[in-house]
Structure 1
Amino acid sequence: MIRDALLLVLLLAQLPATALLLSRLLRGPSRYPPLQPKTPTPEQLGAVSVVVPTLNEAERLTPCLDGLSRQSYEVREILVVDSYSTDRTPELVKTAQEADPRFRLLNDDPLPKDWVGRPWALHHGFLSSAEKSDWVLGIDADTQPQPGLVASLLETAQREGYDLISLAPQFLLKYPGELLLHPALLLTLVYRFGPAGETGNRPDRVMANGQCFFCRRSQLAQVGGYTVARRSFCDDVTLARAIAAQGAKVAFLDGANLLKVRMYEGAAETWREWGRSLDLKDAASPGQVWGDWLLLLAVQGLPIPIVLLLLRDVISGGSAPVVLAAFSLNVLLVLIRVGLTFAISPSCDLTHASSAWLFWLSPLADPIAVLRLFLSSLQTPTQWRGRSYEKG
């Protein structure tokens, strides 16, 4: 039968994809443990400059400013680089400065044609930061830094010899649609690169998160600041891979105990804003992008539809061996996905969620997440955070 032949082809594709997935997930128990809050030591005094890029962030900036103000004396300065916001963002920063003189409000220069706004603002902050600071920490406006964050980053980097650390945060989820879609999108990263705390990836497979990007000043200077990522809509991964390629020791670690983030409001914004950059095409070759997508299709997008398609045949009995084999393999992949839902649950704060139980049904959104990455891989963003960009 044609269907059995198609199932055999699918099975031959899924078997090596499953083996690759398992090789990544089985390294999870040996990953670097989640970071914990730390208290700074005297020799860390003034070691870090923090840079926060902003553009019309008034609705979510206050928790970020409050969290940064609770960091201790290891933070020399907090530079908020504002791209001429038209809301109350500048006023919020000025109010924070009255209580904490480490805050400084800067405006970046007009955006050059060959730059994306976020790396341009971060580059301006890097160039404006104090040269006496040995480290530069990029923090996004939608984050909520917890006490002890910066001291923990410093202590970990100094103990382990890291030149760059970025953190996977704890995501604050609220609305039903995002409770389904966000975990599915998040797990596309785990399927491709392994869990946070995985430090053994090649430079071209390094993961990073610009919401908390902690780097030695000397390493940033060596690559020319953020210039290498100037046209990238995933500038964090682009920059991290460029730094790793120069021999630096780079880590993407679990920071759920140190950093919370409220990224997007609802499923529509999650689909539109996060989905368009998760393909990471600006930091990878086309072969990597499409190879990763085929892996996701095989082990994340297809298992639930295949199980549902074959369930009646298996229950009725008398199924061909290839049907039983395909059904069994895809049941295994669904069980892996269910297990990963439990594994990522500490990375998702559901305390303010309506219908929090929908989080546990997020495997049903996997085909949608894989479709979103397919569409993203075909497109070049022309709009981002209220700015328009030319293609090319």
Structure 2
Amino acid sequence: MPNPNFLYLLAPGLAVILLLQVPAFLILLARLLPGIRRPAPLKPALSQPEDLAQVTIVVPTLNEVLRLGPCLAGLSRQGYEVREILVVDSHSQDGTDALVKAAQAKDPRIRLKHDPPLPADWVGRPWALHNGYLFSSPDSEWILGIDADIRPQTGLVASLVQTARAENLDVIGLSPRFILKYPGEWWLQPALLMTLIYRFGAAAKVETQPERALTNGQCLLIRRSLLTQLNGYTCAQQSFCDDVSLVRACVAVGAKVAFRDGKNLIQVRMYEGLGETWQEWGRSLDLKDATPRGQLWGDLWFLTAVQGLPLIMSLMGLGLKMGGVEWLTLDILLALNLGLLAMRWGMVAAVSGSYLPGPGQGLLWLSPLADTLAVWRIIQSSMQQPKSWRGRSYQSF
């Protein structure tokens, strides 16, 4: 039996934790249950005559020559709905220009552009996208932003345009199929991804609340007329999560925005190894640049309650039970946290199709053991403003 003085101090603390976790658990259920009826993953589509030359693709780059090759190869396989493929390069020093010019010789739709020097009040990625919009043909109905690390599958653009037209959408983003290689990635990356799924749940068919809008800027189709209405990407010019800032501005002006499962259409190899995943992806997932301060603090409480604490509280609860402690509060707390862990392993099964099979994939099932670290990374990132990103240094805005 633990020391009575320790138990005397512990009891009210457990009661407070229970009071914090119960409402968060109910919110989590409300967010995840609609996922049972979420839209099916989009599939590749064949080009349609009415979509001829309707899309300008913009690929922002900065020293990403090793990633860009597969991206351009996949874009060259897209159909005749693509009018032009603009690689907007921020004066890379790694051979990007030569790679793009070689690709252009095989596909004349590919064109190399360089954005002007980065203004002091812009982040690099939205600046490149903004200039891509300015460079784009006014005859294109759609602008498709594609990151250099995306590997597009044949039929991607046709599927996006046809889905947008059929559902009268103004913006549509896709979640990818992730390519992981190293054990640390398989363990940590799914835990970081889960922080997004827990906060935003199953994406609505069409999002109508700006503060709930979420997307993936790695592959984002948007009407050119809507970008014109928003003055390009200026609404996201100081945002390190510019994709979310942009779509929330779109929803705020009444645009129809959707976020769909694109695992059949795009693959992505984002970061190399555990350290880079922790550093680079971990600091962009807090979404603080697109989130009011009150909502951000609410998100941190929520993630701590339903993802950060369950493993710790389950182990503590089991230890106390084995030590002979019999409290109703402890029983409820233990049951709640074991239930949260069971849900979390269920979510592993639910997202497993979003990963390309590969060596080390069994560690995906151990990713719930990284949840406390993942939540800590979100908290840590929420308290800091990036000083550098993709090789650029930034002053505080």
Offset at residue 197 of structure 1 (A): 5.6
In structure 1, C-alpha distance between the alignment counterparts of 2:107 and 2:42, rounded to whole Å: 26
From 6, 18, 21, the counterpart of 1:11: 18
Offset at residue 195 of structure 1 (A): 3.0
Please give the per-residue CA displacement for 1:273-324, whole angstroms capped at 9, x wherever unaligned.
1111111010010111111011000000000011011113334555211111
In structure 2, C-alpha distance between the alignment counterparts of 1:33 and 1:267, rounded to whole Å: 31
Q: Secondary structure at the match of 1:9?
A: helix
In structure 1, C-alpha distance between the alignment counterparts of 2:389 and 2:325, rounded to whole Å: 54
Partner residue, 1:47? 54
Is 2:359 aligned against 1:359? no
Q: Secondary structure at the match of 1:113?
A: coil
Partner residue, 2:312? 305
Q: Secondary structure at the match of 1:59?
A: helix
In structure 2, C-alpha distance between the alignment counterparts of 1:104 and 1:206, rounded to whole Å: 32
Cα pair 2:54 2:142 within 8 Å, conserved: yes
Is 2:390 aligned against 1:385? yes
Cα pair 1:207 1:252 within 8 Å, conserved: yes
Instruction: Give the letter for the 2:366 counterpart.
Output: L
Is 2:291 aligned against 1:284? yes
From 110, 118, 121, the counterpart of 1:111: 118
Instruction: Give the letter for the 1:361 counterpart.
Output: L
Is 2:238 aligned against 1:231? yes
Please give the per-residue CA displacement for 1:86-116, whole angstroms capped at 9, x wherever unaligned.
0011111111100000000000000011000
In structure 2, C-alpha distance between the alignment counterparts of 1:318 and 1:239, rounded to whole Å: 52
Cα pair 1:169 1:347 within 8 Å, conserved: yes
Cα pair 1:32 1:199 within 8 Å, conserved: no
Greater alpha carbon shift after TM alignment, 289-298 vs 197-206: 197-206
Offset at residue 350 of structure 1 (A): 2.8
In structure 2, C-alpha distance between the alignment counterparts of 1:18 and 1:359, rounded to whole Å: 23
Note the 1:151-162 alignment, pairs <5 A. 151-162=158-169
Is 2:127 aligned against 1:127? no
Is 2:370 aligned against 1:368? no
Cα pair 1:197 1:254 within 8 Å, conserved: no
Note the 1:186-201 alignment, pairs <5 A. 186-196=193-203, 199-200=206-207
Partner residue, 1:31? 38
- Assess, with a 3 A threshold, how the Cα gap between structure 1 residues 200 and 134 changes in structure 2: closer, same or farther: closer
Alignment RMSD (CA, Å): 1.1
In structure 2, C-alpha distance between the alignment counterparts of 1:199 and 1:293, rounded to whole Å: 25
Q: Secondary structure at the match of 2:174?
A: strand
Q: Secondary structure at the match of 2:196?
A: helix
Please give the per-residue CA displacement for 1:147-188, whole angstroms capped at 9, x wherever unaligned.
010000011100111100011101101111111110000010
Partner residue, 2:79? 72
Please give the per-residue CA displacement for 1:24-49, whole angstroms capped at 9, x wherever unaligned.
10000121221111111100000100
Cα pair 1:51 1:139 within 8 Å, conserved: yes
Cα pair 2:175 2:259 within 8 Å, conserved: yes
Cα pair 1:168 1:196 within 8 Å, conserved: no
Partner residue, 1:171? 178
TM (norm. structure 2) is 0.96
In structure 1, C-alpha distance between the alignment counterparts of 2:291 and 2:180, rounded to whole Å: 29
Cα pair 1:8 1:322 within 8 Å, conserved: yes
Partner residue, 2:5? none
Count of residues in Structure 1 that have an aligned counterpart in Structure 2 = 390
Partner residue, 2:252? 245
In structure 2, C-alpha distance between the alignment counterparts of 1:381 and 1:350, rounded to whole Å: 33
Cα pair 1:204 1:245 within 8 Å, conserved: no
Partner residue, 1:63? 70
- Assess, with a 3 A threshold, how the Cα gap between structure 1 residues 154 and 276 changes in structure 2: closer, same or farther: same
Q: Secondary structure at the match of 1:304?
A: helix
Is 2:191 aligned against 1:184? yes
In structure 1, C-alpha distance between the alignment counterparts of 2:43 and 2:208, rounded to whole Å: 23
Q: Secondary structure at the match of 1:27?
A: helix
TM (norm. structure 1) is 0.98
Instruction: Give the letter for the 2:244 counterpart.
Output: V
In structure 1, C-alpha distance between the alignment counterparts of 2:131 and 2:119, rounded to whole Å: 12
Cα pair 2:174 2:261 within 8 Å, conserved: yes
Offset at residue 67 of structure 1 (A): 0.5
Cα pair 2:54 2:81 within 8 Å, conserved: yes
In structure 1, C-alpha distance between the alignment counterparts of 2:284 and 2:328, rounded to whole Å: 41
Partner residue, 1:96? 103
From 301, 304, 316, the counterpart of 1:294: 301
Percent identity among equivalent residues? Answer: 56
Cα pair 1:196 1:254 within 8 Å, conserved: no
In structure 2, C-alpha distance between the alignment counterparts of 1:80 and 1:318, rounded to whole Å: 64
In structure 2, C-alpha distance between the alignment counterparts of 1:42 and 1:95, rounded to whole Å: 29
